[in-house]
Amino acid sequence: MGYEILDHTADVRVRIEGLSFGNFLRSAAHALMDLISDRTKVKPVEGVGFEVEAETGEELLIKMLGEILYVNRVRDMVFHDVEIEMTGKYGVKGKLLGEKFDPARHELELDIKAATYHNLKIQRVNDRFIAEVVFDI
């Protein structure tokens, strides 16, 4: 379970899986966090809340990832983990756990500009939710 980074020509493509939709969203957040910085080196000393609502699962996924990127940029933070609570079929309330970016302790991996809708389709396969997300770098 979780995520796997896949080959992609110009951007970064990631396969995401989860047993529940909330777990799927958490795996997507972890993938993004690891693409930005090694989250094992980040201390969860500050929490930043967010809420997202959407019309579809795909829209919810992209909006949530956009919120993570927004907090990363505006607050200059890197993240260790995320708490996810579903607030409806296509709603989520979450808390990002991390700290201010410190160049002495954190190495930035990739400059992710956005999560895209390119070929995005969330599928239910057996007991899991699966999708491939392309991140624009």
Q: Is residue 137 part of a domain?
A: no
Q: Is residue 61 part of a domain?
A: yes
Q: What's the pLDDT score for residue 43?
A: 97
Q: Contact 12/110 with Cβ under 8 angstroms?
A: yes
Tell me whether residue 110 is in a domain.
no
CATH number of the domain residue 62 falls in: 3.55.10.10
The total of structural domains in the chain comes to 1
**What is the C-alpha separation between 127 and 96, in angstroms, rounded?**
27
Q: Does some domain include residue 133?
A: no
Cα separation, 30 vs 83, in Å, equals 11
Is 114 contained in some domain? Answer: no
Q: What is the pLDDT of residue 115?
A: 96
Q: How far is CA 37 from CA 50, 120, 133, in A?
A: 20, 24, 18
Residue 100 lies in a domain: yes
- Percentage of residues of the chain with pLDDT beyond 90: 91
How much is the pLDDT for 5? 73
Q: Check residue 1 and give its pLDDT.
A: 60
Q: Tell me the β-bridge partners of 128.
A: 125
Position 97 in a domain: yes
Instruction: List per-residue pLDDT tens for the chain, 137 residues long.
Output: 677 776 656 689 999 999 999 999 999 999 999 999 999 999 999 999 999 999 999 999 999 999 999 999 999 999 999 999 999 999 999 999 999 999 999 999 999 999 999 999 999 999 999 999 999 98
47-84 pLDDT, tens digit per residue, is: 999 999 999 999 999 999 999 999 999 999 999 999 99
Q: Which domain holds residue 100?
A: 39-105
Please state, in angstroms and rounded to a whole number, the distance separating the CA atoms of residues 21 and 16.
Answer: 11
Is residue 76, in this structure, part of any structural domain at all?
Answer: yes
